[in-house]
Amino acid sequence: MLSRCSLILMLLLMLLLASAAHAADAVDGYRNPVIDENLADPAVIFHEGTYYLYATGEVDGDNGYRVYTSRNLVNWKRGPVVFQPGQPHVWAPDVWRDPAAGRFYLYYTANKTIGVAEAAAPEGPFSVRRKLFDSAIDAHLFCDDDGELYLFYVLLPGFRIMVQPMANPSEPKGEPKEVLRPESGWETLNGHVTEGPWMIKHANRYYLLYSGSGADTPDYAVGYATSAGPTGPFVRAEHNPILKRAEGLFGPGHGCAVRDGKGDWWFVYHQKRTARREWDRFICIDRLLFDEAGRLHAEATRGSRQPGPALP
């Protein structure tokens, strides 16, 4: 049997190793892009100390999703392919973990149809559960504080953002409701578009982030609208868009909001590589900030060093 001194030494060694691993994950800053691959429309979840990122992008010459993992939202490791539906035009994933069942649900767009797939782990593999909506893209599941589920998505034609109450992760409940559609201004600068919905809740208010204008143009940008409830009515922020093109920075849009170890909000999204009308994009992160009046602010960055997220 080990002596008391040996046990203490083992415990100290374990603490030192854990501390060293944590220090290795720490970042003193970041520069965009954080994933310099042709990826777009990222969704990130946090599970058991690791961030998992899923995005639009070619998968080994086929259509599907690959997972990327990180301990700090900055340094990402390429993981396995998690889902291939066997259809073209596979876009804009979202993944949600059911805390009751411990199962993972992947909301996918394939050939302008939204479906849901299921897996036992965030690395997949995911298997199709059911089709949800035709002529639709960009699904995102939001779980409210009371456990109620709402699926936001974009109905085509017209790029109308809808919300569908859900009985469970794969079963709609009642009828969907339109919450936003394109309005003149930045949302219609290069195509009449509102898409990429993502919901967060702050100080008992609901913030619906979304992207507008054409996704293949440098004018693609991010705005938000607020409401007292998850199904609206939503009012657009007067200072929209909060992420937009700048000198040497093109088409920031379609992302997700995630919290770091201090509880601060970050937006993980894509930018375009050039001002040309095409689909060459990469993954970025930047901070989301609430001011004293509850207004949401962000600034897209590229190349310059920024203070990094706090470790979980």
User: What is the DSSP annotation of 159-171?
Assistant: TEEEEEEEEETTE
Q: What is the pLDDT of residues 77-121, one digit of tens each?
A: 999 999 999 999 999 999 999 999 999 999 999 999 999 999 999
Q: How many residues are given for the chain?
A: 312
Rg value, the chain, Cα: 20
pLDDT of residue 26: 79
pLDDT band at 20 (very low <50, low <70, confident <90, very high): very low
Assigned architecture for domain 32-298: 5 Propeller (2.115)
pLDDT band at 27 (very low <50, low <70, confident <90, very high): confident
The two structure tokens encoding residue 92: 């804009």
- Flag whether pLDDT at 22 surpasses 50: no
Residue 98 vs residue 8, higher pLDDT: 98
Domain boundaries, the chain: 32-298
pLDDT of residue 61: 72
- Flag whether pLDDT at 12 surpasses 70: no
pLDDT of residue 87: 93
> Reduced to 3 states, what is the DSSP secondary structure of residue 274?
coil
- Flag whether pLDDT at 14 surpasses 80: no
Q: What does pTM read for this prediction?
A: 0.92
Cβ 292 vs Cβ 283: under 8 Å: no
- Flag whether pLDDT at 76 surpasses 70: yes
Can you tell me the mean pLDDT for 21-38?
83
